[in-house]
Amino acid sequence: MEAKQYEQVESVVIMSGGDGVDPLYVPDAPHRPGDEADFTEWPWSPGDLGRPEIDCDASETLDLAEGLVRVLGDDNKTSGDWDPKLSPEVLIQGLEHMMRLRIFDDRMMKMQRTGKLSFYMRSFGEEAVAIAQTMALEERDWLFPTYRQPGAQFVRNRDMVSMICHCIGNEMDNVKGRQMPVHYTYKEGRFISVSSPVGTQFSQAVGVALASNYKGLDEVTITWIGDGASAEGDYHYALNFASIFQAPVILNVVNNQWAISTHKNFASKNGNFAVRGIPYGIPSIRVDGNDFLALYSVTSWARDRASKGFGPTHIEVLTYRAGAHSSSDDPSRYRPSDIHYYWPGGDPISRLSEHLKQIGKWSDKQHQELSEKIDSEVMAAYKEAVKFGDLANGPYPSSDAIFTEVYEEPPWHLIEQWDEMKKWRDSQ
């Protein structure tokens, strides 16, 4: 066969910064300090969007990705095809988990401010996300969270004392001081260790989902990534692998509008994260992340698809980070301080409790009593946890732990270093 000819291209000089040419386009923030904090009201209502069959194609979900699945309306009533019709008992359980998370976060933040913890990250405003979604799964399903989904551990019954010991980094910390606070790992609950390098969990989750498939197990994997981290390659590798190998995985982008001080416009050109799944051939849905019922329903649908062999689902969870990124961040430097009060999705806890009151299954008195009960539970757990050491006074995990728990038998060069450290320690 004759070799093909390739057209020769003259060398092109790329001009930048000439007259009228912006050398670097930088997207604007939606709101800055001093701006009036308002959002356009959502045009989407419960009932706008149908619930497709679980074997649907990605193309059939375009309206779901461009719209917003909601079940709870502004009147706190439920409606539409996506209403999961949960019993009041399940809803009260969900409300309790969300209240526990908010009260726990509040207490831990106070501990951080008084020097009892080194660092903290709250889920403020996003409590429904991990809680509703984990409740919609089976206990055997795998969770690959970020630091913004610790609430899943309450659903999986993790002991609060153990969570606080981890945040302090004391002797009972199950990761022996190896992780930053809130970067939990909870093996018994299949809650995989939170990674500090954001985004890595996304492709790991796809790998685990493929392993479950290969072993013929009815286990689904769920993972979450932030809007900011979804600008990284890990997100795209995960979508591609999940789609090609039809992994039983639920891929969530939690769009809480902010990374740290950079905003969602740095990660998505048109502000919509859900539609990105469609060119990968993955059915994609955008869901109101402050609507417990909508989250539960969309996640059950995705689980059902995965479990029956129809592969991955891509979900944009639309929410708002009501608090700071972490205890090291001061968001009033880059956005209006009262902005979260204007978020059309409101507060996930109030919305669910108002709905329960409306159906006659909840009251202000019950809410108050539960809140007080949880507060005492958190205080009691804290007092118990500091018995094993606090940040100021220790005891801390032994420095020997640097050399243990990675290798069953540490290699010779680590043993040498370990011996050196012991000698130094004995000489102190």
Ligand X SMILES: Cc1ncc(C[n+]2csc(CCOP(=O)(O)OP(=O)(O)O)c2C)c(N)n1
CB nearer Mg ion, residue 243 or residue 255: 255
Instruction: Give the active site residue among 70, 321, 340, 355.
Output: 321
- Kindly report the CA angle at 395 between 393 and 398, in degrees rounded to 5? 140
Q: How far is CA 370 from the centre of its chain?
A: 25
**Nearest distance from residue 156's CB to Mg ion, in Å?**
24
Does the protein bind Mg ion through residue 226 (CB under 5 A)?
yes
DSSP at 191: B
**Nearest distance from residue 8's CB to ligand X, in Å?**
41
Do the beta carbons of residue 273 and residue 314 sit within 8 Å?
no
Which of ligand X, Mg ion, none does residue 280 bind (CB under 5 to 8 Å by kind)? none
CB nearer Mg ion, residue 173 or residue 227: 227
CB nearer ligand X, residue 321 or residue 340: 321
**Nearest distance from residue 352's CB to Mg ion, in Å?**
22
Rounded-to-integer distance, Cα 246 and Cα 240, Å: 10
Rounded-to-integer distance, Cα 423 and Cα 358, Å: 68
**Nearest distance from residue 117's CB to ligand X, in Å?**
18
Q: Is 25 a catalytic residue?
A: no
**Nearest distance from residue 26's CB to Mg ion, in Å?**
18
Instruction: Give the active site residue among 178, 237, 334, 367.
Output: 334
Q: Counting runs of H as helices and runs of E as strands, what totals does the chain give?
A: 11, 5
| CB proximity list for 202: less than 8 A, separation 6 or greater | 144, 223, 225, 234, 235, 237, 238, 251
Instruction: Give the active site residue among 102, 325, 335, 355.
Output: 325
**Nearest distance from residue 197's CB to Mg ion, in Å?**
16
Q: Is 190 a catalytic residue?
A: no
Does the protein bind Mg ion through residue 94 (CB under 5 A)?
no
Does the protein bind Mg ion through residue 316 (CB under 5 A)?
no
Q: Could you tell me how many residues of this chain bind Mg ion (CB under 5 A)? A: 4
CB nearer Mg ion, residue 283 or residue 289: 289
* Contact footprint for ligand X (CB under 6 A): 146, 148, 196-198, 226-229, 254, 256, 258-260, 321, 325
Rounded-to-integer distance, Cα 225 and Cα 237, Å: 13
Rounded-to-integer distance, Cα 138 and Cα 307, Å: 11
Q: Is 334 a catalytic residue?
A: yes
Q: Which two tokens stand for residue 190?
A: 């299949």
Q: How far is CA 268 from CA 31, 199, 258, 314, 404, in A?
A: 16, 16, 12, 15, 43
Q: Judging by beta carbons within 10 Å of its beta carbon (0-12, 13-18, 19+), is residue 372 exposed, middle or buried?
A: exposed
CB nearer ligand X, residue 144 or residue 258: 258
Which of ligand X, Mg ion, none does residue 325 bind (CB under 5 to 8 Å by kind)? ligand X
Does the protein bind Mg ion through residue 256 (CB under 5 A)?
yes
Half-sphere exposure of 154 (CA within 13 A, CB side): 26
Does the protein bind Mg ion through residue 227 (CB under 5 A)?
yes
Could you list the residues that contact Mg ion (CB under 5 A)? 226-228, 256
Q: Which sequence positions are flagged as catalytic?
A: 321, 325, 334
